[in-house]
Amino acid sequence: MALKKTRTMCTTCHARCGVLVYSDEDNRIVKIEGDPDNVKSKGVICGSGMSEREIHNNLEGRLLYPMKRVDWDPKGERNPENRGKSEFERISWDEAMDIIADECLRIKEEYGPEAIITGQGTGRVANHWHCRINSSLGLEGWSLVPTHVCLMPHILPNAFTLGVFSSAAGDMRNAHCAVLWGQNPAMETAWCKEVFKNQAAGITKLIVIDVRFQDMSKHADVALQPRPGTDAALALAFMHEIIEHGWYDPEFIENWTYGFDELAERVKDWTPERAAEICQVDADDIRLAAEYMGNWGPVGMCIGLGPGCMHTNAIQNGRAIACLQGMLGYLDVKGGIPVPLSFSVMLDDKITLWDSQKDPGRPELFTFGGEEHPLYKSFGRSNDPHAVFNAIITGEPRPVKAYIAIANDPLLCYENTNLTYRAMTSPNLDFVCVKDFYMSPTAKIADLVLPSADWSERYSYDEELDGNFLFTFDKAVDAPGECWCDWQFFLEWGKRIDPDNWWWNDVQEMVLWRMREFYGFDLTWDEFQSEKYRSTEPGGKQGEVVEKKYEKGLLRPDGSLGFPTPSGRIEFWCESLAAFGYDPLPDFEEPAESPVSTPELAEEYPLVVVTGIRIYSFFHSAWTNTPAQRKMYPDPFVMIHPNDARKYGITDGEWVTVESRVGHMISKAYVTREIKEGVVGVPRPGWRDECKELGLPGYGWDKANGNVLIPSTPAEPGYGATPMRSSLVKIYPGRGDL
């Protein structure tokens, strides 16, 4: 039988690998393989991507039709006390979309648009349309996203320091010093083997900084395992060494940076010994890593969420690392840190309907938690989750009446889950709607549940993480049942509440409009498919990177030379951050909760928990019911060092309870030297859906969910990041009451 071959992209995680999907006449996926012509992923895909065949063909646990809770009537009794208890009944998409539109218009009329929360997650490539629907609702910004802990606290210091709104993922294939900071690319990216090859040829030095001695640490020339939340101290010590030894380019510093003398003064006392004591690493390892960074350029860095995101000192950690990158100077060069331009497309006013001339931090714009965390209000452009959940429960400072979650499971993704659960089951909420692939913990307590199409089943995609490439993508198979992609969902929703701004007929039209509007490609769908990828670089040919754009006037809106910062230079001294109450120079602050800052608390909770540790299956909280993925990790587990296991009477493989001052969870103990002594590692996700095919039980949000352990206060002062990777816990044998 002839198979259809479709070139598209897996969007399960941020790696966005190119794939070829082979399907048969019965709409079944027969084979998936990596696309060798994809210049980014070069034919590599992971097990999660491969399991799309099972996700599409087997349908275990998939939601297939819109469903409404039987005893929830938007025009009559709502029975909120029955959330999570009563059955669901199938309804049509028309009915579902009418309910959503009517509820939104009613609530907006009665309480104002802020009473509608639209929660958004990641991985379903519709962030920008989500912003547009918010604008159509009369909201401004993201409504509710977990960007207080995810990516943005790391991106934002880059934006302040380098002027680049980017995660600054290095060109590791060509780096001579490859620095992985809280990143394990062995799980998902194609360039690891090239790093190893270069390393074996004596070209590249590999530095891995991670609380976990992970896959890449085993191959590193220097592997550092700093205490969680102390990464700024490490970066300051690296800069100390680089300045002390003159391992920087004075011409670059002179021409393109601002505040170097002040920074030099700041790091003068940050000796390797001082940082070593704080970070609990070896001072000689700090010295050696700095020597490699200073002498083996170009230096490419890949930085994960661990160092600069999920801590009460997240912004300063990210700032110190961004300054280190600026000092090394390998920006927008081969083997250094590429400076892509296309990341910002998703935030373009033409898509979001925002007015960029308006300051999102202006006092007259209300956001939940905006006064407490002004940096988050201005740059996160989202309500603060802690403030939202409190507002649902108390009605203060304003009521929240609807929560519509798209690619978002608040019971799993936010800290302090017990608070979130109280909010999501509160009778104060008139309407809870969840659009997802399967019956997630939050879907179970929703009033309306909507089914989603996965990446092989939809036309939609976005290029926000693909640097200067615009890859071809297409729908490989029809979505099962009545699963809709999110783009279609937003389009139908928009047509009902704001038709003038949602004029497209279908998703393909939306994609082609975007190609034309932002990149000047005026294409039919078939023409779009005719090339494997296109370049989005100004002046670049297909797939060609334009280097040192700051020297060519390509980074600043007015076309002048330099970086897109107020000074036009890399800002070691940052007035913009000072305006938000931050030290204008990078510095180290001890995490709000730690054995050092709260020794009394540490007497009862002596270990530091790091949640969200990456494993080879699943993405965020998804696909724990997919046999191919679940097989690898049947039960939730936590990682604990053998010395700690001995100390707390824990045996490998037994059930243990991990407890913090705000909650507790269970998991099986994995006793391993991979994790630093004094740390409990909680992989992502902890929870498990039931997997019938393998006969494996589920472990709900209240059983094996690391976020139950994480307090929502105190948080990072300006940005509101919570300590998902630096809170105190204790561990003991047994499941207790769970």
* Residues near ligand SF4 (CB under 6 A): 10, 12-13, 15-17, 45-46, 48-49, 188
Nearer Cβ to ligand SF4 (9/510): 9
Residues whose CB falls within 8 Å of the CB of residue 95, separated by 6 or more in sequence, listed in order: 66, 68
CB of 619 to ligand SF4, least distance (A): 6
∠ Cα 688 189 343 (to 5°): 95
Task: Output phi, psi for 564, to 5 deg.
Answer: -80, 55
Strands (E) across 96-176 are located at 116-120
Give the nearer residue to ligand SF4 in terms of CB position, either 16 or 240: 16
Sorted by sequence, the CB contacts under 8 Å of residue 76 that are 6+ apart come out as none
Shortest spacing between CB 49 and ligand SF4, in angstroms: 2
| Cβ at position 44, least distance to ligand SF4 in Å | 8
Q: Which is nearer to ligand SF4, 6 or 317 (CB)?
A: 6
Q: What are phi and psi of 249, to 5 degrees?
A: -95, 105
Smallest gap from Cβ 170 to ligand SF4, in A, equals 18
Least spacing, CB of residue 43 vs ligand SF4, in Å: 11
Q: Which is nearer to ligand SF4, 140 or 188 (CB)?
A: 188
Cα-based distances in Å from 345 to 151, 340, 377:
17, 11, 20
- How far is it, in rounded angstroms, from Cα 299 to Cα 172? 8
In the bound complex, what is the minimum distance in angstroms from residue 187's beta carbon to ligand SF4? 7
Q: Which is nearer to ligand SF4, 188 or 415 (CB)?
A: 188
CB closer to ligand SF4, 49 vs 441: 49
Q: Which is nearer to ligand SF4, 504 or 616 (CB)?
A: 616
For 237-266, give the DSSP string: HHHHHHHHTT-S-HHHHHHHEE-HHHHHHH
Helix H or strand E segment including 471: strand 469-471
Is the CB of residue 650 less than 8 Å from the CB of residue 669? yes
C-alpha distances in Å from residue 221, one per residue of 166, 179, 238, 471:
27, 10, 16, 35
Identify which of residues 9 and 639 has a Cβ nearer to ligand SF4 in the complex: 9
Would you say 48 or 174 has its CB closer to ligand SF4?
A: 48
Shortest reach from residue 633's CB to ligand SF4, in Å:
15
In the complex with ligand SF4, which residue's Cβ is closer, 192 or 650? Answer: 192
As measured in angstroms, the least distance from the Cβ of 480 to ligand SF4 is: 19
- How far is it, in rounded angstroms, from Cα 122 to Cα 370? 22
Q: In the bound complex, what is the minimum distance in angstroms from residue 382's beta carbon to ligand SF4?
A: 25
User: Which residue type sits at 621?
Assistant: S
SS (H, E, C) 651-718: CCCCEEEEECCCCEEEEEEEECCCECCCEEEEECCCCECCECCCCECCECCCCCCHHHHCCCCCCCCC
Question: How far apart, in Å, do the first and last CA atoms of the chain sit?
Answer: 51
Pairing of strands 655-659, 469-471: unpaired
Smallest separation (angstroms) from ligand SF4 to the CB of 456: 11
Give CA–CA dist 172/330, Å, rounded.
12
Identify the residue whose tokens are 């498990």.
688
CB of 94 to ligand SF4, least distance (A): 33
Q: How far is the CB of 333 from ligand SF4 (least distance, A)?
A: 26
Dihedral class, residue 449 (left if φ above 0, else alpha if ψ from -120 to 50, else beta): beta
Q: What is the C-alpha separation between 534 and 519, in angstroms, rounded? A: 10
SS3 category, 304: coil
CB 555, CB 339: distance < 8 Å: yes
How far, CA to CA in Å, does 75 sit from each of 41, 72, 284, 288, 381?
A: 51, 9, 69, 68, 33
In angstroms, what is the minimal distance from the CB of 540 to ligand SF4? 24
| Amino acid, res. 703 | K
Which residue has 């992985």 as its token pair? 180
User: Would you call the peptide bond into 717 cis, given omega within 30 degrees of 0 as the criterion?
Assistant: no
The backbone region for 234, taken as left when phi is positive above 0, alpha when psi lies in -120 to 50, beta otherwise, is alpha
User: Which of residues 486 and 589 has its CB atom nearest to ligand SF4 in the complex?
Assistant: 486
Nearest CB to ligand SF4, comparing residues 192 and 387: 192
Q: In the complex, what is the shortest distance from the CB of residue 550 to ligand SF4, in angstroms, rounded to a whole number?
A: 31
- Give me 357's structure tokens: 């001339």
Sheet strands side by side (includes 299-303): 222-224, 205-209, 177-181, 299-303
**Cβ nearer to ligand SF4, comparing 48 with 230:** 48
Cβ distance 602 to 594 under 8 Å? Answer: yes
Task: Give the integer Cα–Cα distance in Å for 614 and 623.
Answer: 14
Minimum CB separation of residue 560 from ligand SF4 in Å reads 38
Tokens of 692: 């019938």
Nearest alpha carbon to residue 99 among 145, 66, 132, 121: 66
614: phi > 0 → left, psi -120 to 50 → alpha, else beta; which?
A: beta
Q: How far is the CB of 11 from ligand SF4 (least distance, A)?
A: 6
Nearer to ligand SF4, 142 or 623 (CB): 623
Between 413 and 585, CB nearer to ligand SF4: 413
Q: Between residues 150 and 235, which has the closer beta carbon with respect to ligand SF4? A: 150
Q: Which two tokens stand for residue 455?
A: 């990446």
CA 26 to chain centroid = 36
- Beta carbon of residue 46, minimum distance to ligand SF4 (angstroms, whole number): 3
45 vs 175 by CB, closer to ligand SF4: 45
Q: Residue with the closest Cβ to ligand SF4?
A: 49
